[in-house]
Structure 1
Amino acid sequence: MDPFPLNSPGFVNLLTSQTTQPIEIGSSEVPKPPERRKWTTKEDLVLISAWLNTSKDPITSNEQKLGAFWKRIEEYLNASPLLVGSIPREWSQCKQRWGRVNEQVCKFVGCHEAALKEQASGHNENDVMKVAHDIFFNDYKSKFILEHCWRELRFDQK
């Protein structure tokens, strides 16, 4: 005799129970995470300016805590007249974007230096840039899309 007969009143077929009877978990909606927004060229340039000005501030320089540092960058970015009408960014977004910009620009610096070493007589800066982009693509399997950031940072020591 089967201890769990299929026709018993307490039997629930788990393979079909969810498809025949939807389970409601309540009427409240689950909050959506904030929508991801791409950074504009203007935002990138203001972020770079904010980072450079904040990191080189002789009054606070390296005496500031990490949270205070990024909070100052957030305030600088969101107060910029170049970004009037833009949705404000949070310090964590600034920190994350800076990490990406810094990583990619540092990689491109190496590619540009390699391209300069390969520079043939008669090649100009446009030729060097094309070779640098080719090296970046070959090394990292993606296009370098932050040239505007590199141009802003290329002569800065940091």
Structure 2
Amino acid sequence: MDPLYANSTGFVHSPGFVNLSSSQKTTDVESSQFPRFSSQSSIGPKPLERRKWTAKEDLVLISAWLNTSKDPIVGNEQKAGAFWKRIEVYVNASPQLDGCPPRESSQCKQRWGRVNDSVGKFVGSFEAALKNKASGQNENDVMKVAHEIFTNDHGALFSLE
């Protein structure tokens, strides 16, 4: 007889293995017979509160990205981790952000992605407004139309002008 065989319930049995699903006894893991470990507490640690980026922080981040990416000494001879670490140092050393808690490089990178995406979408809105520029409209009029297009297309105001 083959050591693997199926019983009437369709489970495959093998010598030396126990079918735990057919066990008659169940154990209540929430009962007091098991010690509770600190990581299993129902009152967990309070999650860290997310901090929104301010307009001032966004400006410093943009400046940090521009200065770091256009650095003629280092140029493109840097790895991504080193690049974002340099941006982190620049942002946290900015006198404009005195009193603000420091940001980590991963936070800077994530925020830059959102800023860059939003700016790219606004550029598209601006180009559409420029294409439809009527006679007599000045740059302020085009910018106002670009903001309207952005808000209509994306459901949010563009605040990174």
TM-score category (smaller protein): 0.7 to 0.9
Quote the residue 2:103 is aligned against.
89
Q: Which has the higher contact order (CA 8 A, sep 6+)?
A: 1
Quote the residue 1:146 is aligned against.
159
Amino acid at match of 1:52: L
TM norm structure 1: 0.73
Quote the residue 2:37 is aligned against.
26
Distance 1:138 1:39 in 2: 24
Q: CA deviation at 1:31?
A: 3.9
Distance 2:65 2:130 in 1: 28
Quote the residue 1:46 is aligned against.
60
- Structure with more of its chain in helix, by fraction: 1
Question: Which residue, 107, 113, 122 being the options, matches 1:99?
Answer: 113
How many pairs were matched up?
133
Q: CA deviation at 1:137?
A: 2.5
Work out the percentage of aligned pairs sharing the same amino acid.
Answer: 67
Q: CA deviation at 1:27?
A: 4.1
Pairing 1:36–2:50 present: yes
Change (3 A) 1:25 1:56: same
Contact 2:150 2:158 in 1 (8 A): no
Contact 1:70 1:94 in 2 (8 A): yes
Contact 2:64 2:87 in 1 (8 A): yes
CA deviations 1:15-34 (Å, max 9, x no partner) are xxx8xx79984345644443
TM norm structure 2: 0.72
Pairing 1:72–2:83 present: no
Q: What SS does structure 1 have at the residue aligned with 2:85?
A: helix
Change (3 A) 1:120 1:35: same
Quote the residue 1:57 is aligned against.
71
Distance 1:79 1:53 in 2: 14
Q: Give unpaired runs (5+ residues) of structure 2.
A: 1-24
Question: Which residue, 121, 135, 141 being the options, matches 1:121?
Answer: 135
